[in-house]
Amino acid sequence: MDFEVRNIAYNFENGQTTSVQVVLYAEQVADGEYINSSIRVKQDDIPTGKSFFQVAPEEIVAIAKKKLAADTAFKAESTEPINQ
């Protein structure tokens, strides 16, 4: 699936950027499957020594996509088949 960016919002507290919220969406039209996600990119997620405004929006989106992949990666808990 190819993801499109639906929204990027910078979150502030006391005048400082605390995180960036990235909304990603992907759809497989043929079967109606879709993913709609909101991923928060935090200071710890961006390169060391950089502020949010020193990181290009494209890089923030790439970080959000990596976080989405890690958060949704299949984690084998059982060897039993899933009955659908």
Domain locations in the chain as residue ranges: 4-72
Strand order in the sheet with 16-28: 4-13, 16-28, 33-42
What is the rounded average pLDDT of the residues 44-72?
A: 95
Lookup: tokens for 52: 């949010």
Instruction: Write down the pTM of the prediction.
Output: 0.82
User: Is pLDDT of 69 > 60?
Assistant: yes
At 11-54, the pLDDT tens digits run 999 999 999 999 999 999 899 899 999 999 999 999 999 999 99
